[in-house]
Amino acid sequence: MDYQGSLRTTGGGAVRANLFGPVNLVNMFGCVLSIALFTLSVVYGDGMSLIATVLLSLLSSLIGLTSRWHMQFKKRPVGARDPPGDCVIRWPNGS
């Protein structure tokens, strides 16, 4: 494995986020805040904030699970030349 900044590359050319990269650290911080909000909701006996905290935590967990992606790069052909200057990546439909 090769570690570069907040990305980790695997042997097959896939690029994934590091375990302690910025995105995962923000996710861990959000989890700690959710636990704190849940605890405060129980301590103060506030049922509506308890329901809201649980639902928002489930929603963010669902979004996190569905966005587990990795980028797979294609192998460069043998003898391929790099273009001079900057390289622009163009996606279909302009996105």
Please write the tens of the pLDDT for every residue from 55-84.
Answer: 988 887 787 777 666 666 677 777 777 777
- Say which amino acid occupies 80: A
Q: Cα–Cα distance between 38 and 8 in angstroms, integer? A: 33
Alpha-carbon distance of 81 to 77, in angstroms, equals: 9
11 is in which domain, residue-wise? 2-74
Segment 88-92 mean pLDDT: 76
22-32 residue pLDDT tens: 777 887 888 89
The pLDDT value given to residue 13: 59
> For residue 94, what pLDDT is reported?
65
| Phi and psi, residue 18, nearest 5° | -70, 155
- Asked whether residue 88 is assigned to any structural domain, the reply reads no
- Residue 18 in any domain: the answer is yes
Buried b / exposed e across 41-56, counting CB within 10 Å, b at 16+?
A: beeeeeeeebeebeee
The domain total for the chain is 1
Q: Is residue 10 part of a domain?
A: yes
Confirm whether 95 is domain-assigned: no
For the cut 80, the answer to whether the pLDDT of residue 89 exceeds it is: no
Q: What is the rounded average pLDDT for all residues in the chain?
A: 76
Q: Is residue 93 part of a domain?
A: no
Q: Would the pLDDT of 40 be above 50?
A: yes
Model pLDDT, residue 8: 57
Give the pLDDT confidence score for residue 43 in this predicted structure.
95
